[in-house]
Amino acid sequence: MSVETRLFHYAFGLGEDALDSAEWVEVSWDSTHRRITTINQLTDLPVESQAVNAARHLAITPAFVNAHTHVDLGAASPINLLPNEDMIDWLLRVNQSRQRSPEQIDADICDALNVMTSTGTGIIADVGQHPRVVHHMANHGVAGNVAMEFFHPSPWNLENNQPFWDRVMPLWAAFQEAFKIHGHQALTLGLSPHSPYNVSPSAWAAVVEELQPHFIHAHIAEFEEEMAYLNGETSRINDLHQAIIKKTFDAEAPFDAYLQNSFWPSSGLVAHGCELTEKDILNLNRRLHLHLVSCPRSNLHLHHKTIPTHILNAIDSPVLLGTDSALSCPTLDIRDEAKAFYSHHELHWDAKQVLKKMTLDGANGLTLKDDLGSLAIGKLAHFSIWDVSHVDEKESMLDVLLDTGRTPEIHQRVALGQVS
């Protein structure tokens, strides 16, 4: 066992609840088991020692959580909706942008991971179709979930389901293989049927029953067309999927449609929720204990709305934050998402609570709270070290750290116990 010890002038996200902060904190971790072994606040500091001088401009936070993204779509600029373009046509164009060479996909995944890790994110709930994501997330020292997405599947009916299995099963086997080779203690594999309008209830139920995923990560109630479709009304999704699904849904509220499919395991994430209703909240909170992830910048970009504030206020559990992919989000910096979320909903900005939302709450939603989400003894050493030499306002240091406009830079990352 080899122990690393570092001194920091400012420490945030301390303790089991990630709400404590302190000055002159020494953190030690065991780089073999990757866990934090001691956290001490130092009082009798030798004023001019080398260690103190080295630490004078350093602040530490737990790694941030991006609870909904698609790293395989890269970090390129958004694909904008064209004037008068339907969401469906935009989705088709996005789907086309996924036709890339394996080398390009690798490069895109690395771009996205580099952008995120360089802005403090170290825990990601990813939704995608490429098993190589597992390799790259492990390589970049990123923790979190990878959910295998099956999107616009081949035709399905119960008499002849072979084309569907022929597509889903090998992909699942490839993800499992990738986990066997590259997975690590803080990475889990789940399933993402992109959203209910892509997959018939019978297909969805059958896949979940067959694959028994650890968790499900779905898009939910994202846009109006989807809701019209789920309610059996005329919708262009109907055109798009008529040949694929051969069935319309019949449900009163968005969540009912999802519940009819009875596919939820005990943990899961549902992203967006722009069209959620009061009735859905009961299911979300009391019945399923799912975590809702809001991606306000992507929602506002694509739909000119995000989860309604009164719905947000009715949800008992903390709503998590995600960026969605770079195709609908201008940066993959989760701090920008927090800014957009708090300002759109006119919420009071309390930096400690915001940090908690971006760390411990996120880790909890990803079922990784025992290992991640705060700086506490026994948790994995997974944090960002910030250079705050340009920051004058010591009393609002955390506000500055969470504000991308004020340019604090990552000095170093400690990713799963390894300095990188």
User: Which residues of this chain interact with Zn ion, rule CB under 5 A?
Assistant: 324
Q: How far is the CB of 255 from Zn ion (least distance, A)?
A: 18
Q: How far is the CB of 67 from Zn ion (least distance, A)?
A: 11
Distance between CA atoms of residues 212 and 105, nearest Å: 28
Rounded to the nearest 5 percent, the helix, strand and coil shares of the chain are: 40, 25, 40
- CB closer to Zn ion out of 270 and 363: 270
Residue 171 backbone phi and psi in degrees, to 5: -65, -45
Query: Tokens 């081949």 appear where?
Result: 154
Q: How far is the CB of 74 from Zn ion (least distance, A)?
A: 14
Distance between CA atoms of residues 93 and 98, nearest Å: 9
Q: Closest by alpha carbon to 373, among 384, 388, 362, 386? A: 362
- CB closer to Zn ion out of 226 and 324: 324
Q: How far is the CB of 110 from Zn ion (least distance, A)?
A: 20
CA distance readout (Å), 172 to 192, 215, 254, 303? 11, 14, 28, 32
Within a 13 Å sphere around the CA of 371, how many CA atoms are in the beta-carbon half? 19
- CB closer to Zn ion out of 142 and 271: 271
The residue at minimum Cβ distance from Zn ion is: 324
Q: How far is the CB of 271 from Zn ion (least distance, A)?
A: 6
Q: How far is the CB of 149 from Zn ion (least distance, A)?
A: 9
Distance between CA atoms of residues 179 and 168, nearest Å: 17
Decide: 29 and 414 in contact? Cβ < 8 Å. yes
Within a 13 Å sphere around the CA of 175, how many CA atoms are in the beta-carbon half? 25
Q: How far is the CB of 69 from Zn ion (least distance, A)?
A: 7
- CB closer to Zn ion out of 222 and 280: 222
- CB closer to Zn ion out of 21 and 69: 69
Distance between CA atoms of residues 299 and 342, nearest Å: 14
- CB closer to Zn ion out of 7 and 189: 189
- CB closer to Zn ion out of 58 and 113: 113
**Continuous segment of H or E residues that includes residue 113:** helix 102-117
